[in-house]
Amino acid sequence: MDSANQSWIPEPLSSLQRGLAQILSSYVTHDGNQRDPIPFMFFLFTAIVAALIWRMFQGERSTPALPPGSFGLPIIGDTISYLSAYQNMTTKKWFEEKRKKYGPLFKTSVMFQKTVFLDEPGGCKLMFGQPDEKLIGGVYSKSNRVIAGPNSLILENGKVHKTYRKYLITHFLGADAVGRYLPLMEQNALDHIQRYWLSKEDGARVIALELLQMFTFSIATELLLSIKDVAVVEELRSIFAEYSLGMMSTTINLPGFQYHRSLKCRDKIHNIFQASIEKRRGELKEGLASPNQDYLSIFLTQPDENGHFHTDEQIRVLLTNIVWAGSDTTAASMSMVLRAVSKHPEVYKELIEEHRAIAANRTEGEPLTRQEVRSMKYTWAVIQETLRITPATTDISRQAMADIDHKGYIIPKGYKLVCSAAQSMWNPDVYPDPEKFDPSRFLRTGATKSTEPFTFFAFGGSTRYCPGQEFAKLSMLAFFHHFFKNVVYTMEEPEERVLYRFMVYPEKGMPLRIQKCKLY
């Protein structure tokens, strides 16, 4: 046992450990013959029982007050029941049972880690309103850490994370930077809709999630690496699809296991990106590429706030992370928007009216302006309400970097902290009638609890607020403006289940029947 794990053992128990070790050594004679085992077994049994009784009573007197709850079964804790609820969209029921038993703030053990599920809004305010990463820091599974790679933004804490984040927002993902990409995003949306939707016969069947992944991936690869060749984009997308499956896999690096396949795909991606880095470095030197041509050029020509240029390894990892995070989650959320709109005709009608009004004030074929995109307030409210009910991921996790005092309880250093949609975005005390799809919640200003801080965290919060929110927002709004104009659709399986793996997805990819139209 290492020193970190020994630190919790009281001195009497440590002494007992040493005593047992001595007895064990005396159990075998110098000539290797065993002694009579009965006295030893009797002593061992008595010592274990005495230690357990002592531990129970001593623990009650000396252990700080932990939040109520139970760590569940030995070793596995509540992992099986929680993962089953998470993957099958029964998380709300799982939380309701826990709340009835322990209250809104409770402890358990999930994924072999002691975990505290925080209450709302106090717990979420604690986690998202805490800028000091000496108190609360990021936490990810081993598979997530290894597959994401070293120098990944999501894995860094403190000053390093802040520097990475500032660089990305300044050059790529801030509102001003993203606004410059609107023409490219809109053109990608137009090309995609024409190639994959309008080219089909009326009544054709399409798998929405797959097509939306193609759209978001094409934007990411063009902005990052100036890749426009459809065949190259699709080949790279297939590698990323296999890569992403390992994010929550069991860390068994042997052939036949997902973790092994995902690591192989990560290596392929990094080799492709390394070739792009070397080629672009030569193009920049020869004047065949501009310093602001795309993200890759900026990485190679713009230092961070400390004057440091990124290494090739850092660039490979950052490019990989941005492509993955910027395409998969956005496409999944877009599929959930189409699902929600299909189920609520009144929402669809209001969407069409908003976009028709925007189109009426400009000439046919004119590109969207940033002001027009900002005026799509109802569309954005529809997206937000979709993310409230079916967020890309239901839980946001952090780690206690020191002992935390919360509502009279101590959350020990090393515990995982979790804010869950079930505690906030699906909670009737926070969002009245939470199962009702009501975009108007996000059009009010202070009229209900739904607009209070720390109650909506579809994009995370605090220092780890998703830096790609503006990127995702703009690409979705540009796409939906042209999609609703040109395509009407019906869900082939209206009751198709929504599930979670690492993120939300429709179980069968959401098959649609589509028809061409021109509504504005």
Of 319, 18, 24, 28, the residue nearest 153 (C-alpha) = 319
In which residue are the tokens 């929110």 written? 469
C-alpha distances in angstroms, 26 versus 14, 23, 176?
19, 5, 74
Of 245, 244, 214, the residue nearest 232 (C-alpha) = 214
CB 225 within 8 A of CB 294: yes
- Rg of the chain on CA atoms, in Å: 27
Question: For residue 428, what are its two tokens?
Answer: 């009737």
Of 393, 395, 462, 408, the residue nearest 113 (C-alpha) = 395
Q: How far apart are the first and last CA of the chain?
A: 69
CB 454 within 8 A of CB 128: yes
CB 147 within 8 A of CB 262: yes
Q: What is the separation of C-alpha 483 from the centre of its chain, rounded to a whole number of angstroms?
A: 27
CB atoms within 10 A of CB 181: 20
Starting at the earlier edge strand, list the strands of the sheet with 395-400: 106-110, 113-117, 416-420, 395-400, 136-138
Q: Which segments of 348-393 are extended strands (E)?
A: none
Whether 466 has a binding-site annotation, put simply, is: yes
CB neighbour list of residue 238: distance below 8 Å, 6 or more residues apart: none
C-alpha distances in angstroms, 333 versus 327, 385, 389, 402?
10, 11, 11, 35
CB 463 within 8 A of CB 163: no
Whether omega before 121 lies within 30 degrees of 0, making that bond cis, reads yes
Tell the burial category of 425 from Cβ atoms under 10 Å away from its Cβ (0-12, 13-18, 19+): buried
Question: For residue 491, what are its two tokens?
Answer: 């869900």
Pairing outcome for strands 416-420 and 113-117: parallel
In which residue are the tokens 């020990």 written? 412
**Cα distance between residue 416 and residue 399, in whole Å:** 5
DSSP alpha helix (H) spans, 138-181: 142-148, 158-168, 175-179
What number of CA atoms fall less than 13 Å from residue 121's CA on the CB side?
Answer: 15
The binding site for heme comprises 466
Which residues belong to the annotated binding site?
A: 466
